[in-house]
A and B are shown apart, each in its own frame.
Chain A
Amino acid sequence: MAGESFDVDYVARLAHIELDDGEKAEFGRQLGNILAYMEKLKSLDVDGVEPTMHGHGRVNAFREDVVKPSMARDAALANAPERTDDEFRLPKIVEDA
Chain B
Amino acid sequence: MDIARFTVASALKALDAGEVSSRELTQGVIDAIDAKDAEIGAYLTFDRESALRQADEADAARAAGKRGALLGVPVAIKDLINVAGQPCTCASKILEGYVSPYDATVSARLRSAGAIFAGRVNMDEFAMGSSTENSAFKTTRNPHDTSRVPGGSSGGSAAAVAGGMAICALGTDTGGSIRQPASFCGIVGFKPTYGRVSRYGVTAFASSLDQVGPMTRDVTDAALLMNVLAGCDEHDGTTADVPVPDFAAALDGASLKGVRIGLPKEYFVDGTDPQVSSIVRSAIDRCAAAGAELVEVSLPHTEYAMAVYYIVAPAEASANLARFDGVRYGHRTGKPEDVYSLYAKSRAEGFGAEVKRRIILGTYVLSSGYYDAYYGRAQKVRTLIRRDFEDAFTKVDALLTPVAPTPAFKVGELQDPLSMYLNDLFTIPASLAGLPAISVPAGKTAEGLPVGVQFIGAPFADAKVLSCAKAFEAA
Q: Which residues of B contact A55 (CB under 8 A)?
A: 193-195, 208-209, 211, 238, 431, 433-434
Chain A, residue nearest B342 (CB): A91
* Size category, B interface: 35 or more
Q: Is the interface of B mostly helix, strand, loop or mixed?
A: helix
Q: Is the CB of B348 within 8 A of A19?
A: yes
Is B310's CB within 8 Å of the partner chain A?
Answer: yes
What distance in Å separates the Cβ of A74 from its nearest Cβ neighbour in chain B? Answer: 9
Is B234's CB within 8 Å of the partner chain A?
Answer: yes
Q: Which residues of A contact B338 (CB under 8 A)?
A: 93
What CA separation (Å) do A78 and B32 show in the bound complex?
33
* Size category, A interface: 35 or more
What distance in Å separates the Cβ of A42 from its nearest Cβ neighbour in chain B? Answer: 7
Determine, out of B108-116, B182-190, B219-227, B358-366, the stretch whose residues face the partner at the interface: B358-366
Q: Is the CB of A19 within 8 A of B356?
A: yes
Q: Which residues of A contact B307 (CB under 8 A)?
A: 37-38, 40-41
What distance in Å separates the Cβ of B307 from its nearest Cβ neighbour in chain A? Answer: 5
What CA separation (Å) do A78 and B332 show in the bound complex?
15
Q: Is the CB of A17 within 8 A of B356?
A: yes
What distance in Å separates the Cβ of B203 from its nearest Cβ neighbour in chain A? Answer: 13
Q: Is the CB of B384 within 8 A of A15?
A: no
What CA separation (Å) do A16 and B346 show in the bound complex?
9
Q: Is the CB of B336 within 8 A of A91?
A: yes
Is B101's CB within 8 Å of the partner chain A?
Answer: yes
What CA separation (Å) do A20 and B211 show in the bound complex?
34
Q: Is the CB of A71 within 8 A of B237?
A: no
Contact partner of B367 among A14, A53, A75, A82, CB < 8 A? Answer: A14
Chain A, residue nearest B239 (CB): A61
Is B247's CB within 8 Å of the partner chain A?
Answer: no
Q: Which residues of B contact A79 (CB under 8 A)?
A: 97-99, 101, 328-330
What distance in Å separates the Cβ of A96 from its nearest Cβ neighbour in chain B? Answer: 14
Q: Is the CB of A30 within 8 A of B357?
A: yes
Q: Which residues of A contact B234 (CB under 8 A)?
A: 63
Q: Which residues of B contact A41 (CB under 8 A)?
A: 304, 307-308, 311, 374, 377-378, 381
What CA separation (Å) do A71 and B347 show in the bound complex?
26
Given contacts A14-B363, A56-B459, A79-B101, 20 further A-B contacts (CB under 8 A): A15-B347, A17-B360, A23-B353, A27-B356, A30-B357, A30-B418, A34-B421, A35-B364, A42-B373, A44-B377, A46-B377, A51-B380, A53-B379, A56-B240, A58-B240, A61-B237, A76-B328, A79-B97, A90-B327, A91-B339
7 contacts between A and B (CB under 8 A): A18-B345, A30-B357, A41-B374, A44-B377, A49-B384, A79-B98, A81-B326
